[in-house]
């Protein structure tokens, strides 16, 4: 039999209803905060994807159009949004608040398609804008309430400024070690100043309650710029703390590549990583319209998996409504009219029996559908109900 290619899958009706349940809640939050939804094309020119500088080109699924132009399936929503803002929305007043729910594609060892939902706040920098992005995210999580959700917050520019004391190529290795949580590599790096090593190890180990982390970090010998960055983190974590948002401050959180420029964060729930985001003030410049930007993306498959055990997502039993069963061809006209009437009532779904099932057979079919009742319709327009919930 035919199978989908490895790494992609069908979403059957139950998966779709659960995905919609999540998407609708996220959309409500995005809308409340004034983030307007944008839909960008699935395909982008390779140059567009390349320009972001943040994407591993090997991870892009590529194809060619009829004229031989190299295209890629979007591996990430942000390059497309940045392109759209820099070109199509160039005259919009700043900041631009955009939200999306889209599928993205990655070719790792196998092609993969997955769904992301998130926001981008473009044209506003600074701690207030950072705060807004984090609070939109916290609002989304409060709405969905996945188990044990926590924001893990870092400050890339701050952490990177400590690595800047080390010359290349050791700096690159140390940054990679920091990003991959490889403490052994930091200890083993030869030829770096011991004072620098102990600072890096202190940063590596600095995570936990924001207040404690900030007070420990303030013991480092800091420049004014570094001190200002810590003060911003203190403001941000203060806002989050005041709203009881669970936060782990983690000053070792960096990426191995230069994409984020300030705030960086990950979202954990149910022991899994369900989203990430941060500030990327250089990205829009790559698309010809320099502007600060920040945003986050939630991974809908991961969210669905952590929400499933909570029993909040719509389950198999979701059904209700009527199965309308005509009592022979003479009752077809009356059955259509009866179903029309029922559909005008709010909520319930109404299905018509099309295959001529009657009696027990029709009742069994109604049960399989999850209908609340079977309504028999006779040729003269009269009806009899059979309540499936009661008979069971």
Partner 1 sequence: MNITTIALPKGALLKSTIARLQAIGIDFGEFLEGSNRLLRLEDRSGRYEGLLVRAQDVPVYVAYGQAQVGIVGFDVLKEKQLPVAQVADLGFGHCRMSVAVKSDSPYRSVQDLPAHCRVASKFTTCARSYFEERELPVELIPLYGSVELAPLTGMAEAIVDLVSTGRTLKDNGLVELEKIFDSTARLIAHPLSYRLGRVGLHELLGQIQTAAVPA
State the residues that interact with partner 1 by CB under 8 A: 150, 152, 180-185, 187-188, 207-208, 248, 250, 253, 266, 268, 271-273
Tokens of 96: 């631009």
Q: How far is the CB of 83 from partner 1 (least distance, A)?
A: 30
Query: Token pair for residue 86?
Result: 């820099």
Which positions ≥6 away from 22 have C-beta within 8 Å?
Answer: 117, 144, 300, 303, 304, 307, 313
Nearer to partner 1, 185 or 352 (CB): 185
Q: Pick between residue 249 and residue 350 the one whose CB is nearest to partner 1.
A: 249
> 232 vs 266, which CB is nearer to partner 1?
266
Least separation, in Å, of the C-beta of 275 and partner 1?
12
User: CB of 137: closest distance to partner 1 in angstroms?
Assistant: 17
- Residue 267: CB minimum distance to partner 1, A: 10
* CB nearer partner 1, residue 143 or residue 182: 182
Shortest distance, CB of residue 185 to partner 1, whole angstroms?
7
CB of 253 to partner 1, least distance (A): 7
Distance CA 365, CA 319 (A): 13
CB of 252 to partner 1, least distance (A): 8
Shortest approach of partner 1 to residue 273 CB, angstroms?
6
Can you tell me the distance from the alpha carbon of 130 to that of 238, in angstroms, rounded to the nearest whole number? 13
CB 58 within 8 A of CB 111: no
Residue 242 forms beta bridges with which residues?
none
Number of neighbours of residue 297 by Cβ within 10 angstroms: 21
Q: How far is the CB of 183 from partner 1 (least distance, A)?
A: 6
Q: How far apart are CA 370 and CA 358, in angstroms?
A: 17
Q: In the block, which residue shows the tokens 């395909």? A: 43
Minimal distance in Å, beta carbon 325 to partner 1?
49
Q: Which two tokens stand for residue 264?
A: 């960086």
Nearer to partner 1, 272 or 343 (CB): 272
Reduced to 3 states (helix: H, G, I; strand: E, B; else coil), residue 82 is: helix
Residue 301: closest CA among 152, 173, 37, 112: 112
Q: Which residues sit opposite 269 in a β-bridge?
A: 272
Residue 176 contacts residue 256 (beta carbons within 8 Å): yes
Gyration radius from the chain CA atoms: 27
Q: Which is nearer to partner 1, 107 or 150 (CB)?
A: 150
Residues 357 and 28: their CA atoms lie apart, in Å, by 42
Q: Which is nearer to partner 1, 89 or 185 (CB)?
A: 185
Taking the C-alpha atoms of residue 173 and residue 181, their distance in angstroms, rounded to an integer, is 12
Nearer to partner 1, 204 or 322 (CB): 204
Contact status, residue 318 vs residue 21, Cβ threshold 8 Å: no
Nearer of residues 252 and 261 to partner 1, judged by Cβ? 252
**253 Cβ neighbours under 8 A, 6+ residues apart:** 152, 153, 154, 156, 159, 264, 265, 266
Nearer to partner 1, 47 or 205 (CB): 205
Closest CA to 29 of 104, 146, 152, 138: 138
Beta strands 111-122; 293-299: pairing state: antiparallel
């Amino acid at each position: 039999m035919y199978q989908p290619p490895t790494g992609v899958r069908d979403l059957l009706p139950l998966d779709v209803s659960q995905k919609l349940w999540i998407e609708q809640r996220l959309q409500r939050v995005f809308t409340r905060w004034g983030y307007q939804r944008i839909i960008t094309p699935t395909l982008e020119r390779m140059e567009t994807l390349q320009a972001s500088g943040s994407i591993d080109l090997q991870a892009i699924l590529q194809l060619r159009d009829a004229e031989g132009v190299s295209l890629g399936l979007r591996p990430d929503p942000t390059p497309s949004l940045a392109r759209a803002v820099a070109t199509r929305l160039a005259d919009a007043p700043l900041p631009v608040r955009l939200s999306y729910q889209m599928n993205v594609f990655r070719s790792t060892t196998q092609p993969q398609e997955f769904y992301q939902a998130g926001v981008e706040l473009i044209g506003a920098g600074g701690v207030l804008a950072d705060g807004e992005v984090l609070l939109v995210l916290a609002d989304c999580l409060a709405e969905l309430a996945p188990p044990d959700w926590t924001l893990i917050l870092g400050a890339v520019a701050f952490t990177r400024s400590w690595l800047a004391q080390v010359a290349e190529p050791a700096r690159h290795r140390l940054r990679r070690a920091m990003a991959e949580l490889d403490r052994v590599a930091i200890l083993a790096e030869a030829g770096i100043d011991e004072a620098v090593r102990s600072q890096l190890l202190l940063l590596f180990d600095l995570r936990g309650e924001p207040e404690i982390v900030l007070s420990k970090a303030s013991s480092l010998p800091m420049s004014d710029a570094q001190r200002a960055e810590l003060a911003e983190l203190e403001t941000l974590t203060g806002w989050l703390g005041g709203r009881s948002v669970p936060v782990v401050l983690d000053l070792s959180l960096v990426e191995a590549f230069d994409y984020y420029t300030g705030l960086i964060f990950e979202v954990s729930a149910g022991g899994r990583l369900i989203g990430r985001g941060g500030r990327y003030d250089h990205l829009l410049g790559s698309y010809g319209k320099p502007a600060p930007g920040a945003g986050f993306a939630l991974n809908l498959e991961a969210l669905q998996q952590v929400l499933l055990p909570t029993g909040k997502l719509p389950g198999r039993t979701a059904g209700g409504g009527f199965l309308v069963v005509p009592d022979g061809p003479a009752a077809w006209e009356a059955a259509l009219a009866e179903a029309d009437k029922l559909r005008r009532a709010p909520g319930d779904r109404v299905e018509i029996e099309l295959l001529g099932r009657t009696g027990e057979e029709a009742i069994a079919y109604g049960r399989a559908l999850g209908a609340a009742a079977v309504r028999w319709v006779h040729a003269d327009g009269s009806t009899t109900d059979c309540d499936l919930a009661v008979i069971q």
